[in-house]
Amino acid sequence: MEEGGSSLSTRPVVEVSQEVLTITGIFLTIVAIVSTLGNGSFIAVLLRSRGFRRDAHLILLMSMATCDLGISIFGYPFNIVSCFAGTWVFGDFFCQMYAFMCFTLAMISANTLVVISIFRYIIICKPQSSMTRATVDSAIQSRKYTCYLLFSSPAATIFCYVVHLSVMSVCYHKIYKRVSQLKLDSLTPPLSSDTENNEEEKSCLTRICFDAALNFEIDQSNINHHRNQRTYKIEIQVLKLNLLMVLTFFVIWSPYAVMSFVSIYHPDLPAFWFCAFLIHQ
């Protein structure tokens, strides 16, 4: 394209039928309603929780829910209206704002998933760390915003996808091994009281002290046994939820990351992939 004496390369215009755009608009409307109600309800519940501000895990979940709600507010309405109109109707300024807000919020949400995996790894796999809980929370928060600055540039999109998926996979693999160890500990039977003692060689006072100490040890063993069982059940539920989030990240971001990379070398993508970009964004 010739403009101002300089030659500027541009991508070919991809034509999409109005029927396809209408179907896309209906789909995005449903997603927007579900996302807004779900994330809004989750945020409301967290804000009413008393221990919310003291729990770094809940703060991270709040961050992710807020970003997803932001996409529902700043992303879906512009997209939905434009799909039904058949063209972008909001001008250049809102086009740039839409692209910036959606990309930034999506990257923050993805980075938060990584930070959650690191947080869970530290809490479960490194419980005897010399860092206190407050220090862990502070370190997680500072590293979270550092990751946002480092990994939220457009040039790092593909690279960050690989880094995110690798870090989450490694962390949750180690968490799974640790939780499996908790299961083995919970299945270990408590200390048995069937201990052979030479009662004849013990005085009455010695037998009383020995029995009291043995009963105390048995009680402590039973308490630890039940605590391990309860901890295992809780951690396995949390692990399933976190693995579901990782699977969601993989399913949602894999097509976008792959096709973004392909579009660098093949700008003339078919209309099908254009619609895929529109839906994923």
| Helix then strand then coil, % of the chain, to nearest 5 | 80, 0, 20
Percentage of residues in the chain with pLDDT exceeding 70?
Answer: 52
Q: Is 122 exposed, middle or buried (0-12, 13-18, 19+ CB in 10 A)?
A: middle
> 227: which residues sit within 8 A by CB, 6+ positions away?
none
Q: What mean pLDDT comes out for the span 98-113?
A: 83
Please determine, for residue 84, whether its predicted confidence score (pLDDT) is greater than 70: yes
Q: How many CB atoms lie within 10 A of CB 137?
A: 18
- Chain centroid offset of residue 47 CA: 19
| Rounded-to-integer distance, Cα 98 and Cα 136, Å | 35
For every residue of 201-265, DSSP letters joined together read: GS-HHHHHHHHHHHHHHHHHHHHHHHHHHHHHHHHHHHHHHHHHHHHHHHHHHHHHHHHHHHHHH
214 vs 80: CA distance, rounded Å: 70
Go through the domains of the chain in sequence order and give each one's CATH number: 17-280 (1.20.1070.10)
pLDDT at 180 over 80: no
On whether the CB atoms of residues 159 and 106 are closer than 8 A, the answer is no
Contacts of 98 (CB under 8 A, 6+ apart): 74, 75, 78, 79, 90
Quote the Cα angle for 58-60-61, to 5°: 65
For 7-35, write each residue's pLDDT tens digit. Answer: 444 555 556 678 878 888 898 899 889 88
What pLDDT does residue 192 have?
A: 45
Please report the pLDDT score of residue 130 as a whole number: 43
Output the six-digit token pair for 183: 């299961």
Burial of 123: CB neighbours in 10 Å, binned 0-12, 13-18, 19+: middle
Q: Is the pLDDT of residue 70 over 80?
A: yes
In this model, does residue 169 exceed pLDDT 70? yes
